[in-house]
Amino acid sequence: MSTALVTGPTAGIGHSFATQLAARGHDLVLVARDRARLELVAAELRTAYAVEVEVLQADLADRDQMRLVEARLADASRPIDLLVNNAGFGLKERFLDNSADAETAMMDVLVTAVLRLTHAALGPMAERGSGGIINVSSVASLLPRGSYSAAKAYVNKLGEWAAHEYAPRGVRVMTLLPGFVKTEFHERMDVDRGSAPDFLWLDADDLVRTALADYDKGKVFSIPSAQYKAISTLARVVPTGVLQRFQSLGRK
């Protein structure tokens, strides 16, 4: 039986990944800061799907705690077959309205953690010739939306390169680009769901179902939903100055 490690699995997209992977028969390693919520999700998944679920409490903004996750990924005696780099958060205010420390903490989770956990997972995967990684980016990576967009653009480039670099060694890497999703993500930012049109809000379970289907097909990028495929296409041709006028969308 294969094992998947999911970061940020206690709510939203991460919870959907954990649930749907358990339904597929994967054992799980769940990584998050809140042990109580981790234990609750783990118990639910063990009961519902009769899979093994390991809990690993770690704050990915803390380098010492992140090393615990890296060590678990690098442990060849207990191989991880799929890594889902999902953990993340955003900042509601614009760049200069946030402290440098807040911006750095966000970069630690969105960029540094993705880099280090991908590095830790790729080694044993490439050595044994099998495994996969799904990195959760964002359609915001294609738009001018401050440091969050810049961080997610990094995730895109890292994932695209790794997908081609390690495919010959049996490792699949896919980057997922969701848009607005009905999760706790925006609630934690104190952003009202009415700040973006209803048609832009996606269901997390549907999104993950599409993402896993795209992963099964070997896609390098997954952009669930017709509306975000259209937005992604437009983002490549519409001038940056025009796109920047809409950066307050989903922030109020």
Radius of gyration of the chain (CA): 17
> Which member of 148, 166, 215, 228 is catalytic?
148
Token duo for residue 103: 């911006």
With beta carbons less than 8 A apart as the criterion, state whether 26 and 17 touch. no
Pairwise CA distance, residues 147 & 30, whole Å: 27
Q: In what order do the strands lie in the sheet with 53-57?
A: 53-57, 27-32, 3-7, 82-85, 131-136, 171-176, 221-222
- Is residue 154 annotated as part of the catalytic site, yes or no? no
Spell out where the chain has E strands: 3-7, 27-32, 53-57, 82-85, 131-136, 171-176, 221-222
3-state secondary structure at position 88: coil
CA distances from 134 to 107, 155, 156, 186, 245 (A): 19, 11, 11, 22, 31
**Rounded to an integer, what distance in angstroms lies between the CA atom of residue 115 and that of residue 154?**
10
Which residue, chain included where needed, has tokens 């780099």? Answer: 85
Amino acid at 12: G
Active-site positions? Answer: 148
